[in-house]
Amino acid sequence: MIRLAAWLDPHTLADLDTTGIGPGARCLSLGAGAGTIAAALAEIVAPVGEVVAVDLDTSMLPTQPGITVVQHDLTTGLGHLADAPVQLVEARLLTQHLPNRRALLNAMIAATAPGGSILIAEVVNPRPYTLHAPALDDGNLVDLVLNVLGDAIEPDGADMEWGREGVHNTLAEAGAAVHTRWHAETWTGGSYPIQLLADGAFQKRDRLFAAGLTIDDLDRFTDLPHDPQLTVRSYEIAFTHARLPYDGATRDHPRRARGGRTRPAMTPRAVRQAGGIPAHPSGAQCAGPGLRTPSHFSRSRHGPRHGDRYR
Ligand SMILES: C[S@@+](CC[C@H](N)C(=O)[O-])C[C@H]1O[C@@H](n2cnc3c(N)ncnc32)[C@H](O)[C@@H]1O
């Protein structure tokens, strides 16, 4: 889990920077795992903000000021977690595994305050595969293991296409301004992310034996991630950032329900109509409690009035 975080955290933290989240915000970290993102968020929203870190298994979550740990099964929805609006919801490598993924995403949208952000990251196809190996047999072995690992994940209900388009489209259809980027890279033997593969093979060794691999194959596979002659195309991750409209006009908003057209969230006109952004005492512009002005906004003199939108 920590290796996963070491690989993905720089990407998620870069996305967090674009949300404009700041001191005082209330955030949800769903399927928080080892809590590395919850911990980073807790520092950002300190001293009065709160990060609610939610997982079925809370044993790895940090206990630190600003983090409230909640043990909750998200297949039942958000429940009481949605009682108070949040400025940011973050869920990485979670929703694709849950049967209620679309309903849960819609619940996240409903729980997020106007102008707030939703960050989702999911693994998508294609599965990792070998680009270069010390020998042909090694490449075949690695690809066989990668396929068995992939098969082991997907029958558990994981949807490897959901992150490619489903997440983006569900958020866009709800009226959010959505940006998705897909990231894959080469992993060379000896680098730490490739150890994820060795870890995965160890965890799923029963499946590998069932697929006909021998102890020797598994030993060889465990050695290969240390060999600099092995290069694998990594998992591909879809990182989606959605910002909800500042005027609260998401799909469930009465204006939409009446059939009214909703404005794109980030147009200068939408911001102007919401009241303009005053200068923040620190010199930075402020888009409301817990939200700093997103970078693509800071060129505009206009925006919502400080404190207007969460009343
Ligand atoms: C692949 S890990 C990702 C952890 C973390 N988001 C990260 O990216 O570092 C998925 C996490 O979701 C949690 N999870 C899985 N099913 C869940 C459920 N039904 N309700 C709550 N958490 C769940 C797991 O316990 C695990 O911590």
Atom of ligand 1 nearest to the CA of 1: 9
pLDDT reading at 94 higher than 90: yes
Beta bridge partners of 68: 52
Give pLDDT, residue 39: 97
Is the pLDDT at 264 greater than 70? The verdict is no
pLDDT band with cut points at 50, 70 and 90 for residue 267:
very low
Starting from the edge strand earliest in sequence, which strands make up the sheet with 186-188, in order? 129-132, 231-233, 186-188
Ligand 1 pocket, 303 CB below 6 A? no
What atom of ligand 1 comes closest to residue 57's alpha carbon? 25
Distance 294 CA to ligand 1 centre (A): 28
Ligand 1 test: best mutation among 94, 199, 239, most atoms within 8 Å of CB? 94
Whether ligand 1 lies within 6 angstroms of the CB of 13 is answered as no
pLDDT of residue 113: 96
- Could you read off the pLDDT of 191-211 as tens digits, one per residue? 888 888 888 888 888 888 998
CATH superfamily of 1-125+160-184+235-266: Vaccinia Virus protein VP39 (3.40.50.150)
CA of 32 to the centre of ligand 1 (A): 6
Which range is most confident: 165-169, 209-213, 247-251?
A: 165-169
Model confidence at 263: pLDDT above 50: no
Distance, CA of 244 to chain centre: 16
The better pLDDT of the pair 218, 43 is held by 43
Ligand 1 site, residue 75, Cβ cutoff 6 A: yes
| pLDDT reported for residue 177 | 97
Mean pLDDT of 68-91: 96
pLDDT digits over 280-301, tens only? 223 333 344 455 544 433 333 3
pLDDT tens track for 128-165: 999 999 999 999 999 999 988 888 766 667 888 899 88
Does the CB atom of residue 140 touch ligand 1 within 6 A? Answer: no
Rounded average pLDDT over 70-82: 97
Going from N- to C-terminal start, the domains of the chain cover 1-125+160-184+235-266, 127-156+185-234
Lowest mean pLDDT among 29-43, 173-187, 229-243, 277-291: 277-291
Closest Cα to atom 27, ligand 1: which residue? 33
